[in-house]
Structure 1
Amino acid sequence: MTEQPAPTPRVVAVVVTFNRLELLQRLVARLVEVPDVAEVLVVDNASTDGTGEWLAEHTSGRADVHARTLTENGGGAGGFHDGLAWALERGFDLAWMMDDDGLPEPECLATLLAQREDLDFWGPVVVDEAAPDRLVFPIRLPGGTRVVHAMADVTAAAVHGVIPDVVIPFNGVLVTRDLVERIGLPRAEFFIWGDDVEYLWRARDAGARVATVVDAKVHHPSVGELGTPMMGGRTTYNHSPSDLKHYCMARNNTLNLRTYRGWPHVVMFWVKTVWFYLFTRPRPARVVLSARAAYAGLRGDFTGHRRFLT
């Protein structure tokens, strides 16, 4: 008896956007050209740059691209929370999740789909669009503390074309419907920074099969100083010049570490934070801001970031 091929999954792309109309336009143009994408769902975080108007015009009468504009900016976390819920309503088998500033290579999805029988939550390598031999988001290789920044190091570390148990969430990742139904939606209250890590760690705790597929690539603008060296190069710190991003990182990372790694890891994170802003990049006010953010998160207050939005 001839073995029947697995049915083609229904792939729905979930895109979250905020005030990056030109980048959104190039991404949507790319996604509608990908044969395996059934629908593109765009969640607009109350943009003020004409995105809502463009989406209303661009999606009118179309069956392949749909858009929702939120009444207020919910950040990436809120956008993906609402977007995945919407994709569930639309009956997806696989959700292809991405921000508006990434651009998958034309064969990215096909390369990812070739691994679908073995994985539940997996994605591409995210490379710098200006220097594709470099990663935008450094990868900590499994089984150790080594963090790599070069595409060559990622390729060398791959086993049968994948790096197991590692993925950069919400940058062209695929997630199965079954996994979403088991673990729920991203934490909308996180706003930005750490919501993706929390979802990954939640997926791992649920037994999800996670991986990065090294031949699948998404191009992305550089994000600056992620993984800034400190303590003589013995470790790194995710410094951001944005007070909004730092506030959310300090709050959400404290909660993630407490929930999934335990208090010793929280303490280590705080030692690094204090060291970084007293010695590596002296800025004592950042220590105070970090403490306020972490305390707010630990007592369940997720409103503090709003003061940086005005």
Structure 2
Amino acid sequence: MQVVAVVVTFNRLPLLERLLDRLLEVREVAEVLVVDNASTDGTGEWLRGRFPHGGPDRVRTRTLDSNTGGAGGFATGLTWAMERDADRVWLMDDDAVPEPDCLALLLERPDLDFWGPAVVAEQDASRLCFPIRLPGGTRVVHRMAEVEAAARDGLIPGVVIPFNGVLVTRELVERIGVPRAEFFIWGDDVEYLWRAERAGARIATVVEAIFTNPATDDLGTPMMFGRTTYNHTPSDLKHYCMARNNTVNLRDYRGWPFVLMFWVKTVWFYLFTRRRPGRIAMSARAAWAGLRGDFTGHRKYLA
């Protein structure tokens, strides 16, 4: 069985160096494919100098002509891995670091199609980098201890954080395709997860397998008197993509009532929780563009 790691990078060369050092220590990885999203910090030059032909380091690199975001990067990388006869593909961003035994623990679960590690905050390994909703209810947890307590046979079934150390089988990719490149960022991972669910994929988080990632933004900001949370970000680019892509995802996979609930939360959050009425107008423009099939509007926010 050939496991190929796919890394998508953009302008974070020191973090990429750290990650590649770790991946080259993982004996279960046959190859590492690095997709450079047209970085401007010297990443492309460093990759070409450090890994000119792949060679004994098992690393192959590809620098894109323009920044296609995480969605485009993973679409490129997953297609590339399939072309290189991967049986399992291990997907990750450049800022993460898997524990040395992470992949080995994942591979002990051959009865899954789309599965990944527990993703913990680099700053504090006792808490999750991304809050997760436990299956069978509405409870959202933020601490590793809560995940461990909820696990069954070491798994949280039906839950995974896509593109953060997740493994996907060749068979599943052949059935459902690759991520939607036009999404750019924020929402492409959820869409791919929901697409896998719709296809009947066996999905889980392996609690013992650990993946560290810097905790950023205000993911899961409490709102409505603590009754729910909202994925706020100070970045206009990220918010535009989130409002657009989330509206499209909810329409396509959950239905219009869920779109309405998302919009109630968006209006509430930027009127009362973090008052920024301009964000509501931006959200409306983004959502309308997505519903029309226009996925170009985020470009105005690119630096």
Which category describes the TM-score, using the shorter chain as reference length?
Answer: over 0.9
What residue in structure 2 maps to residue 110 of structure 1?
Answer: 104
Which of 286, 293, 300 is matched with 1:293 structurally?
286
What residue in structure 1 maps to residue 274 of structure 2?
Answer: 281
| TM-score normalised according to structure 1 size | 0.96
Gaps of 5+ in 1: 1-8
Q: Give every structure 1 segment of 4 or more consecutive aligned residues whose post-TM-superposition deviation is greater than 6 Å.
A: none
What per-residue deviation string (whole Å, max 9, x for no partner) do you get for residues 29-66 of structure 1?
10011010000000000000010001001111333000
Q: In 1, distance between residues paired with 2:11 and 2:54?
A: 23
Q: In 2, distance between residues paired with 1:167 and 1:285?
A: 33
Which of 70, 83, 102 is matched with 2:77 structurally?
83
What is the identity, as a one-letter code, of the residue corresponding to 2:109?
Answer: Q
Q: In 2, distance between residues paired with 1:76 and 1:148?
A: 26
Q: In 1, distance between residues paired with 2:217 and 2:257?
A: 29
What is the identity, as a one-letter code, of the residue corresponding to 1:189?
Answer: E
Within a 5 Å distance, the mapping from 1:124-273 to structure 2 comes to 124-273=117-266
Gaps of 5+ in 2: none
Q: In 1, distance between residues paired with 2:155 and 2:217?
A: 26
What is the identity, as a one-letter code, of the residue corresponding to 1:115?
Answer: R
What is the identity, as a one-letter code, of the residue corresponding to 2:145?
Answer: A
Q: 1:175 is paired with a residue of what secondary structure?
A: strand
Q: 1:233 is paired with a residue of what secondary structure?
A: coil
Q: In 2, distance between residues paired with 1:93 and 1:208?
A: 16
What per-residue deviation string (whole Å, max 9, x for no partner) do you get for residues 153-186 of structure 1?
0000000000000000000000000000000010
What is the identity, as a one-letter code, of the residue corresponding to 1:246?
Answer: H
Identity %: 73
Q: In 2, distance between residues paired with 1:241 and 1:260?
A: 27
Q: CA deviation at 1:225?
A: 1.0
Q: In 1, distance between residues paired with 2:101 and 2:50?
A: 25
Q: 1:202 is paired with a residue of what secondary structure?
A: helix
**Considering only aligned residues, what root-mean-square deviation do their CA atoms show, in Å?**
0.6
| TM-score normalised according to structure 2 size | 0.99
Q: In 1, distance between residues paired with 2:122 and 2:257?
A: 37
Q: 1:232 is paired with a residue of what secondary structure?
A: coil
Q: How many residue pairs were aligned?
A: 301
